Structure 1
Amino acid sequence: MNIKICGIRREKDLSSCERAGADLIGFINIKRSKRMVEIPELNNLILSMKDKNKAVLVIEPENMADAIERIEKTGLKNIQLHSLSADEINNLKKHYQPTRETDEDGNSVDNQGDLRVIRALGLSTVIGPQKIREIQDFARVCDCLLFDYQIRGKTGGTGKQIPLKIAVEAARIAKQTKPDLKIFLAGGMDKKRMEEKFEILEEFFDYVDVNSKVEDKPGVKNTTKINELIEIKTFNKA
């Protein structure tokens, strides 16, 4: 099981995540978020990273063109979407499929790299037929699904935990649809849940996504809490 730490706004917190061994690091470019980072500031943070492949751009674009604009401005290819339909995501991925071209010396080169899409989906206390179809539709076109607690149709930043039984059910539906899909679990993930439910989390989820529970306040991370969380993973792997 891997750990993604999201909501990074400060270079100090970015360094803490990298030193601790976070597997992915998320930067939120969504206006409604308390952890919103504007693109210029986001790019400055990315420049300081030791491994830029760990950076995840978290966006809620109005449409495919909006998504492409933000992707191009940051150069990131790990994208976490909180909007766009399954059809729009399919078209977005096609836009970024690598194609072979020939340079001036006659060498074959790729003009674009693959896009890795994580689609956030909201869960609460029940999974009905409509939610099953939603999970299946997005599983077919995405590389990863991220399950987060949903309030009034919005996901992310709630700090509330999805009942584990519901999250596991959603993960099973997604994996049955696309076995190689990567599954993220978000929503109030903290040290206590990681310690008490590690075996279940390890069995059904590829990543846990942590944000508010390693903070002193929105956008201000706590290095000790980050280290403690990642030590749980290290200890259980030993």
Structure 2
Amino acid sequence: MRIKICGIKRVEDVFMAAYCGADAIGLLMGQKYPSDDFINIDLAQKIVKECPPYISPVLVTHLDDPEKISYLASQIGFTAIQLHSDCTVESIRSLRETHPHIKIIKNFHVDGLEMIHAMKPFESVVDAFILDTLDLANNKVGGTGLTHDWNISRDIVRKVSRPVILAGGLTPENVADAIKIVKPFGVDANTGLKDSSGFKDNTKMFNFVYRAKQEFFQVRNLSTKPRDKEVLWIRS
């Protein structure tokens, strides 16, 4: 189970995400739609520079111009790019030519099984899909705090050939149920992990990661308890 904490806006939240066991952090740059989580290039560079080992910094962007996306990726040092835009297959191919070693994740908003037809052409050019919720009332394409029909997401996971990351209104309270139903490759949360200041809440991050990983073991029928030999080895 891969876990990403999105909407990071300060260095201390990166370290806490790492301590809690997250695999990746998301930095929002290149804004076209309403959001309080976008940061400037100077802060992004500082956060990525301080990013602990084994934590992947992900560029989360509304941009669809491969040159502008490439510029941000090069200037800051991202290991993955998450596209929340109407970019084309051709533009992603162009981005891959510039950054062959960067993983590319394409966002789709869950509104019905027919969306699988729109996803299929991208299977050959992306490394993963992320399923999110669209907030038409507030013109938000991510970080909405809204869930969607997880039964649709479950069917999408079964019918596409790329790994699927689940997002959209995930919290420490509902992430286990979401994983149980959808069985995604990973989960991604932002709004549900904030405190009243708009930054990340340490307890919420810990509980989110813990419950996500616990449910993953349950879904996969894996034990979280060490075997007898492992216990003896730890004690010796």
Please, what TM-score do these two structures have when normalized by structure 2?
0.83
8 Å CA contact retained: 2:5, 2:188: yes
Deviations along 1:15-47, one digit per CA (max 9) or x if unpaired, are 110111101111111433210111110110111
Q: Secondary structure at the match of 1:162?
A: coil
Evaluate the alpha carbon distance shift between residue 72 and residue 218 of structure 1 in structure 2; reply closer, same or farther with a 3 A threshold: farther
The letter of the residue matching 2:193 is V
Q: Secondary structure at the match of 1:220?
A: coil
Q: Which amino acid aligns with 1:165?
A: N
Q: Structure 1: how far apart are the matches of 2:164 and 2:197? A: 25
Is 1:170 aligned to 2:173, yes or no?
no
Structure 1: which 5+ runs fail to align? 98-113
Q: Residues 77-104 of structure 1: CA distance to partner in whole angstroms, max 9, x if unpaired?
A: 311111211121022112323xxxxxxx
- Cα distance 1:12–1:77, how it changes in 2: closer, same or farther (>3 A)? closer
Query: Does the 8 Å CA contact 1:135/1:170 hold for their aligned counterparts?
Result: no
For 1:9, the equivalent position in structure 2 comes to 9
What's the CA shift for 1:49? 1.3
Aligned residue pair count: 212
2:188 pairs with 1:188: no
The Cα RMSD (Å) is 1.9
Identity of aligned residues (%): 25
Partner of 2:194: 215
Partner of 1:102: none
Instruction: Give me the whole-angstrom Cα distance separating, in 2, the residues matched to 1:234 and 1:171.
Output: 19
Which one of the candidate residues 106, 124, 128 is aligned to 1:140?
A: 124
Cα distance in structure 2, aligned partners of 1:52 and 1:196: 27
Decide whether aligned partners of structure 1 residues 9 and 144 sit closer, same or farther in structure 2, where only a CA change above 3 A counts.
Answer: same
Q: Distance in 2 between matches of 1:196 and 1:183?
A: 16
Residue of structure 1 equivalent to 2:220: none
1:95 corresponds, among 73, 98, 115, to 98
